[in-house]
Structure 1
């Protein structure tokens, strides 16, 4: 739930203090200029562009940054859905103060900022159900932030595993085997065969097949493609083999799956 948003230009004389009992999360983005943030754990300067996240009941004080000039910002105050909580595990820069600035070098950092600006635009617009639109946009912004969060589990994966996962996600329709994935990942077959299960809990080929089956389920319910066309679209060379594997994983044939979802 979104409690409020803002996108003000602040003067050099502006100060703001958040009291200890404030019950909501706050995302603050410094667009231009800099601000000094004082918390019980210390003081830090946020230089734009900068994205900070403050949990509930975290008191702090904001004033102009090191040059004593004004700044531009956008902020969002919200109560997260339960499924968002894992998306809020950002790096801690001070006790109770989180930040995404460690990902500033990522090309998607500015996309996150643009998404948060859009949250404010939607929340203050004239559209019917504007807060619902804004909340959906906030979820998108948090997902984008999660993708570049250096503390997220996926960021700690071995580079070879990340490259293999990206290949599976984008090239699943191609003829991929462990050797092909290893070449894409820039490692040997034995290295990938060891690292991938250690981090993902399954083998590369089992993961690839599961991804293909999920894509097939989507196509079966969202298109009128024939089963053999679905089979080819998700990377199975033999439609009979596809149907066999689909039945083993899902518990019914592709055609039965489609019919059940159409009921």
Structure 2
């Protein structure tokens, strides 16, 4: 039987820890045989998980006997990972054990150096912090999970369910995975990625230092055909200086930021109105409905109609 060890670290997120226990623990094969033996292990006999305290099955030595290790996120992922945990994960990786993470559990894998040079994902809200802390990891915050073979990482919250169902499909095939998805009352595959859930920050207040005033102006006029030279004139800067300042403060070019503002406006209209795609494209500042659909799909990972169906009250 495939043995799964869920690693419970201090301050672990209870939802992340419960996901593999429930999804993988309920998998059944032909004849009703369980597909996985799921245990919880940790560096301490008892572990705090938010408002609850857990008693774990075994210590870190159990990781060496696992077929798969699942690492849940922690409420404060910036806190250091105990050295004994890093050593145990590295030893398991060297032995060929498959290691997966849920949400900001990717921080633990990265701290052990297991994701260096590899593509991975984590919760979108922690993406920038992750990039700064682990620049050698190829982070993709727009997807629900990344399978690079031995290491599998997933985005936040319910993306852990997506990843677990993916592991079932990988281990036992589509039929068993479909049965597991029905038990979990979750789709076997979700369109798009976590890009559709990302909340992009708006501009700073007009009186804020830096580019706050020009960002507010750009958002207000995003529906117009705003040119780069017009933005530079509004900011009282040369185009070259404007580009440099934008990259330093936002990480994007002025036109990239403007495109993001238009996408945000379109999302608001899709969520709060019944307007057609053609009208929303015009109100948000896109050149044509075709251009709008292409840019929206590229940014959010789903079509405007799919986004509306998911987020329209």
TM-score under structure 1 length normalisation: 0.39
TM-score under structure 2 length normalisation: 0.33
Which structure's relative contact order is higher, taking Cα pairs within 8 Å and 6+ residues apart?
Answer: 1
